[in-house]
């Protein structure tokens, strides 16, 4: 039994988590993201990914998740020590005694019995996952400005064609300076033992224990392994919820094939990303044709067997110029198809930090905040908007108001603004890109940098 009805998150933590230990987190046992192209995994999105040894996987496919590192972190959590990689949660908890960190949210989705079992298991035991996100490879036809070559083959092509980005002082991890060959260990057409291990585990145990499988990329519709998996779903009666992250910009035949495949799956959730409109969206998400994307949204709503449809908005400095118009369009879809078709989340971009909304000067950011406030005031009583969506919008409005500098002061913002200009001057070398023509409201400020 997960969280009890009416129980607060704090009460849940005190009832289920605290008696186990001061650092227990169910995600360490039952959740994973696995990048099969690079052979890496992590428990949730906060700890950095780590390598899965190929020799371990060849001997035991469950090693894709049950790595020596995760096992030793489970042992730490069983006795109340804090794994260093989970710093994100410890920072939140150390703000104050009752602060609720993500480990509570990521634990409460599992049953009390399963959590008790995890806590009592010997730490060296293999565990079968309940929630899993996987990427087969990084094949993608988009090269969005906030993505990088580790996740997009179009970004790799761009770097190979135009060269590495230079002089980005705040890009400490060098996202834009090389092709990230280690993200794709095996060429297309080559057998990838990590992928083979996944299918082996999937067919033996995983499809029985997993409650939710989410496929990400790259663009999963462009990966042959996605269709291999979808074929499995067509042939088997399963309760596993299948979720797909798609940019919905793939060729018509792939979108149509996905729609057909959705009809053979009981519980199919589709996630897509966008946060702006028209040429501005096409600028941010290089490779996108806005009208094609919007048509595909409608096509899927009309013809797909979709049980959940979610827009993931990555809130960056550039999308604020048309975010309110974008939300109008989302609201129209909701009015036509129902409050949850689609839902949206507003995820404030933190990295690359020079693309964060906080890079904008006060007067521009304030103007955007006021527009969002107006949208909120006009629409907050609309019953097609979920409480979660209104909360996220309010959180963004507050963020644009209160959080003035990304880190510790004006000097930092000065560096980020310089990187913003340096990045988009280089990005503008791509065909059809012109920053000042696409964002006239930002042109004076941009030219002054
Ligand atoms: S403790 Fe926090 S960072 Fe670590 S796995 Fe759990 S949710 Fe993620």
Distance 196 CA to ligand 1 centre (A): 28
| Across 2-6, 213-217, 228-232, 437-441, least confident range | 2-6
Say if ligand 1 is within 6 A of residue 86 CB: yes
Structure-token pair, residue 236: 């088997």
Q: What tokens were used for 294?
A: 């919007």
In what helix (H) or strand (E) does residue 425 lie, and over which residues does it extend? helix 410-427
89 lines ligand 1 (CB under 6 A): yes
The CA-atom distances, in angstroms, between 128 and each of 79, 196, 211, 357 are 22, 17, 11, 40
Q: What separation in Å is there between the alpha carbon of 80 and the centre of ligand 1?
A: 13
Backbone angles phi, psi at 313, to 5 degrees: -100, 120
pLDDT value of position 410: 36
Cβ neighbors of 59 (< 8 A, separation 6 or more) are none
List CB contacts of 257: < 8 A, sequence separation 6 or more. 221, 227
Measure CA 148 to chain center.
14
Contacts of 185 (CB under 8 A, 6+ apart): 37, 38, 39, 192, 194
Is the model's pLDDT at 365 over the cut of 80? yes
Atom of ligand 1 nearest to the CA of 102: 7
Task: Write the pLDDT tens digit of every residue in 288-298.
Answer: 999 999 999 99
Distance CA 391, CA 318 (A): 22
CA of 47 to the centre of ligand 1 (A): 7
Taking CA atoms only, the protein residue closest to ligand 1 atom 7 is: 103
Average pLDDT over residues 46-67: 96
Which tens digit of pLDDT belongs to each residue from 297-316?
Answer: 999 999 999 999 999 999 99
Q: What is the distance in A from the centroid of ligand 1 to the CA of 263?
A: 35
Token pair 């970004």 is found at 155
pLDDT for 404 equals 63
Looking at residue 411, what is its pLDDT?
40
Q: Name the token pair of 61.
A: 């496919």
Mean pLDDT of 320-346: 97
DSSP β-ladder status, 31-35 and 268-273 = unpaired
Nearest to 213 by CA among 298, 128, 86, 336: 128
Helix (H, G, I), strand (E, B) or coil at 145: coil
- Spatial separation of the C-alpha atoms in residues 430 and 369, rounded to whole Å: 30
Q: For residue 97, what pLDDT is reported?
A: 63
* 33, pLDDT greater than 70: yes
What is the pLDDT at residue 99?
A: 79
Comparison of pLDDT for 413 and 267, the residue scoring more: 267
351 confidence band (pLDDT: 50, 70, 90) = confident
Strands 131-135 and 212-216: parallel
Best residue for ligand 1 mutational test, from 25, 84, 91, 107 (most atoms within 8 Å of Cβ): 25
Pairing of strands 285-286, 143-144: antiparallel
- 110 alpha carbon – ligand 1 mean position (Å): 14
What is the C-alpha separation between 98 and 355, in angstroms, rounded? Answer: 33
Answer yes or no: is pLDDT of 265 > 60.
yes
Ligand 1 in contact with 106 (CB < 6 A)? yes
Q: What is the pLDDT of residue 405?
A: 57
Check pLDDT > 50 for residue 409: no
For ligand 1, atom 6, the nearest C-alpha belongs to 103
Where does the pLDDT of residue 88 fall: very low under 50, low under 70, confident under 90, or very high at 90 and above? confident
Nearest CA to ligand 1 atom 8: 44
In ligand 1, the atom with minimum distance to the C-alpha of 105 is 7
Q: Where are the alpha helices (DSSP H) in 121-273?
A: 153-162, 193-201, 207-209, 224-235, 252-262
Q: What is the pLDDT of residue 407?
A: 44
- Contacts of residue 295, Cβ cutoff 8 Å, sequence gap at least 6: none
| Report field, pTM of the whole predicted structure over 0.85 | yes
Q: Which of 13, 22, 28, 119 to mutate to test the pocket of ligand 1 (most atoms within 8 A of CB)?
A: 28
C-beta of 44 in contact with ligand 1 (< 6 A)? yes
Ligand 1 atom showing the smallest separation from residue 88 Cα: 3
Name the CA dihedral angle for 292, 293, 294, 300, rounded to a multiple of 10 degrees.
100
Check pLDDT > 90 for residue 188: no
Task: Tell me which of 106, 129, 130, 132 to substitute to probe ligand 1's pocket, judged by most ligand atoms within 8 Å of the beta carbon.
Answer: 106
Closest to 32 in 3D by CA, of 213, 185, 230? 213
pLDDT tens digits, 132-168: 999 999 999 999 999 999 999 999 999 999 999 999 9
Examine residue 63 and say whether the peptide bond preceding it is cis (omega within 30 degrees of 0). no
Mutate to test the pocket of ligand 1, among 74, 86, 130 (most ligand atoms within 8 A of CB): 86
Number of other CB atoms surrounding residue 429 within 10 Å: 11
Closest CA to 306 of 341, 334, 330: 341
**Ligand 1 midpoint to CA 441 (Å):** 40
Looking at per-residue pLDDT, the higher value among 7 and 98 belongs to 7
For ligand 1, whether the C-beta of 74 sits within 6 Å is: no
Best residue among 17, 89, 118 to mutate for probing ligand 1's pocket (most ligand atoms within 8 Å of CB) is 89
- What is the per-residue pLDDT for 108? 95
Q: What is the mean pLDDT of residues 363-390?
A: 96
Lowest mean pLDDT of 6-15, 268-277, 292-301, name the range: 6-15
Pocket residue to mutate for ligand 1, from 20, 27, 70, most atoms within 8 A of Cβ: 27
- Looking from the CA of residue 106, the nearest atom of ligand 1 is 7
Does the beta carbon of 47 sit less than 6 angstroms from any atom of ligand 1? yes
C-alpha span between 192 and 39 (Å, rounded): 9
With a 6 Å cutoff on the Cβ, whether 77 touches ligand 1 is no
- Cα distance between residue 62 and residue 422, in whole Å: 44
Edge-to-edge, what's the strand order for the sheet holding 50-51?
A: 50-51, 40-42, 31-35, 131-135, 212-216, 241-245, 268-273, 308-315, 343-348
Q: How many CA atoms lie within 13 A of 443 on its CB side?
A: 8
How high is the mean pLDDT of the chain?
A: 93
């Amino acid at each position: 039994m997960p969280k009890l009805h009416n129980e607060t998150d704090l009460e849940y933590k005190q009832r289920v988590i605290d008696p186990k230990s001061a650092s227990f987190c169910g995600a360490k046992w039952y959740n994973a993201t696995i990048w099969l192209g690079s052979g890496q995994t992590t428990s949730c999105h906060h700890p950095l990914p780590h390598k899965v040894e190929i020799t371990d996987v060849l001997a035991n496919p469950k090693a894709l998740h049950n790595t020596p590192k995760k096992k030793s972190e489970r042992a730490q959590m069983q006795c109340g020590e804090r794994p260093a990689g989970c710093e994100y949660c410890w920072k939140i908890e150390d703000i104050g005694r009752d602060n609720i960190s993500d480990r509570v949210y990521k634990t409460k989705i599992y049953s009390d019995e399963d959590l008790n079992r995890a806590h009592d298991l010997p730490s060296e035991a293999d565990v079968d996952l309940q929630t899993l996100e996987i990427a087969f490879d990084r094949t993608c036809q988009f090269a969005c400005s906030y993505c990088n070559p580790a996740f997009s083959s179009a970004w790799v092509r761009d770097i190979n064609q135009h060269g590495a980005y230079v002089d980005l002082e705040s890009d400490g991890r060098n996202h834009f300076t090389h092709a990230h060959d280690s993200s794709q260990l095996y060429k297309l057409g080559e057998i990838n033992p990590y992928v083979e291990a996944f299918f082996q585990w999937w067919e033996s145990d995983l499809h029985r224990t997993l409650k939710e499988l989410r496929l990400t990329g790259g663009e999963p519709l462009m990966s042959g392994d996605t269709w291999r998996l979808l074929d499995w779903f067509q042939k088997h009666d399963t309760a596993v919820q299948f979720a797909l992250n798609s940019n919905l910009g793939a060729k018509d035949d792939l979108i149509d094939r996905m729609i057909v495949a959705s009809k053979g799956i009981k519980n199919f959730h589709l996630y897509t990303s966008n946060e702006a409109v028209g040429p501005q969206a096409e600028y941010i998400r290089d490779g996108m044709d806005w009208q094609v994307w919007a048509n595909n949204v409608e096509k899927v709503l009309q013809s797909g067997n979709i049980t959940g449809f979610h827009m993931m908005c990555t809130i960056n400095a550039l999308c604020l110029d048309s975010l309110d118009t974008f939300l109008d369009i989302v609201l129209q879809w909701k009015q036509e198809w129902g409050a949850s078709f689609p839902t949206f989340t507003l995820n404030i971009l933190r990295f690359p930090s020079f693309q964060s909304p906080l890079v904008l000067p006060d007067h521009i950011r304030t103007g955007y905040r006021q527009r969002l406030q107006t949208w909120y005031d006009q629409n907050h009583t609309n019953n097609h908007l979920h409480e979660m969506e209104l909360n996220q919008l309010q959180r963004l409005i507050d963020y644009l108001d209160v959080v003035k500098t990304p880190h510790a002061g004006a000097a930092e913002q000065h560096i980020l603004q310089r990187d913003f200009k340096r990045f988009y001057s280089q990005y503008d070398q791509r065909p059809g890109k012109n920053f000042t023509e696409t964002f006239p409201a930002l042109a004076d400020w941009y030219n002054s940098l």
